[in-house]
Amino acid sequence: MTLGNTGSAERGERKTNGEVMSASMSLEAQYCAHNYHPLPVVLTRGEGVFVWDENGKKYLDMMSAYSAVSHGHAHPRLVAVVREQVATLTIVSRAFYTDKLGPFLELACKLTGQDMAMPMNTGAEAVETAIKAARKWAYTVKGVADNQAEIICCSGNFHGRTIAAVAMSDEAQYQEGFGPFPPGFRIVDYGNIEALRAAINVNTAAFIVEPIQGEGGIVVPPEGYLSAAADLCREHNVLLICDEIQTGLGRTGKFLASDHDGVVPDGLILGKALGGGIMPVSMFLARREVMEVFTPGDHGSTFGGNPLGAAIGLEALNIIVEDDLAARSAEMGDYLLQQLRDIDSPLISDIRGKGLFIGVEIDPSLTSARSICEALMSRGLLSKETHETVVRLAPPLVINKAEIDWAVQQISAVIATMEKVQLAS
């Protein structure tokens, strides 16, 4: 597979903080809040596992928009659904029924083993929905005293950027300058079942956990951790809520990452790939006892469950099932992990993951994950660093072996070059 440099040089280039900035980058830097540090590339088109920049250069996308593009860019079936639905009906709010929402939620519930669902838009909204559901369930069903409900979460977690989600985090940067934070959250060590056991008390409403931590650096807990947590929650009448916004829908080699442990949680949070890489679509799903705590007016979203999003979500789920993308993720993920583990370098301190959800841990004393991602970009491979120490590899689930081979060649070449630089210094 060849990814070549094509097209003319960018016009209007200038340098900012050492990076060459095109006119598009400069405009974004001027008018967009600087809450991201993008790699210096301007993308204009995508198809399958590839994207192209404004100069026509082709790249292999090993990021999938943080797992949102599991189906590949511009999937023909999804594009067709969008065209048809946009021309028919897009949004009327939940003030009315539509013909698209019911079938979408029915399939989502049947595929996940849940009874009911609350449609939302972004993952953060679905997390907020889960928090509200857990608290109200604690008061109305479990019998926790008013305003005493607690939710347990894990160190290194990432559940979004809202104030409540940030209150659940132990990442200092996520919290700095944004307090005060709502109370009622307790943080325990991820993967430590005894820490969870010690934290549970009569006020515990729920344990919200990522089966594999994404933003934490593709952190895989000890085998059996989730099933042990499920048993513990059941014993103490605590809701187990799995945040599968990144790990769900085939990403880790099973339809849900919780399937690896044979766990059906009391509540489930889905997003990202649910929108087919086209628009934000998310939902909170749960057993009936949990979802029925909501009454009209308790919670809502003007755009949540809109006909366009529901039509896309339904087709996205159908494609995952019909094309068996979970099995494909398992096969290609095992192959990618095997190829990566053949790279012998002191720069790499760990390689971990499941399915096509892989993290390459870089020794920060030798180089940064950002530097590796920038070097890979220059060779036509797009990834992104996590916490400056992990290179995330999460390509569209439709990637094939030839494309993986090419990706590993680029990674191996970059690692070898950087290793030589370190040995020479």
Catalytic residue among 53, 61, 243, 261: 243
> Is the distance from CB of 271 to CB of 281 less than 8 angstroms?
yes
The count of C-alpha atoms lying within 13 angstroms of the C-alpha of 79, restricted to the half-sphere facing its C-beta, is 8
Residue 185, Cβ density class (10 Å: 0-12 exposed, 13-18 middle, ≥19 buried): middle
Side chain identity at residue 35, one-letter code? N
Do 256 and 268 meet the contact criterion of CB atoms below 8 Å apart? yes
162 residue type, one letter: T
CA distance 270 to 287: 15
Which residue type occupies 157?
N
Whether residue 22 contacts residue 32, with contact meaning beta carbons closer than 8 Å, is answered with: no
Catalytic pick among 57, 136, 254, 272 = 272
Coil vs helix vs strand at 223: coil
Residue 117's beta-bridge partner residues? Answer: 285
Residue 323 sits at the vertex; the CA angle it makes with 110 and 327, to the nearest 5 degrees, is: 85
For residues 321 and 107, the answer to whether their CB atoms sit within 8 Å is no
CB 304 within 8 A of CB 132: no
- Known catalytic residue at 243: yes
**Given 50, 104, 158, 255, the catalytic residue:** 158
Spatial contact of 325 and 70, defined as CB atoms under 8 Å apart: yes
Q: Tabulate helix, strand, coil % of the chain (nearest 5).
A: 40, 20, 45
CA distance 103 to 97: 12
Q: What are phi and psi of 159, to 5 degrees?
A: -120, 10
Nearest residue to 149 via CA among 185, 106, 120: 185
- To 10 degrees, the CA torsion angle through 20, 22, 25, 31? 110
3 state DSSP class of 249: coil
> Active-site residue 354, yes or no?
no
Q: Is 298 an active-site residue?
A: no
Q: Count CB-CB contacts under 10 A for residue 113.
A: 15
User: Would you name the residues annotated as active-site residues?
Assistant: 158, 243, 272
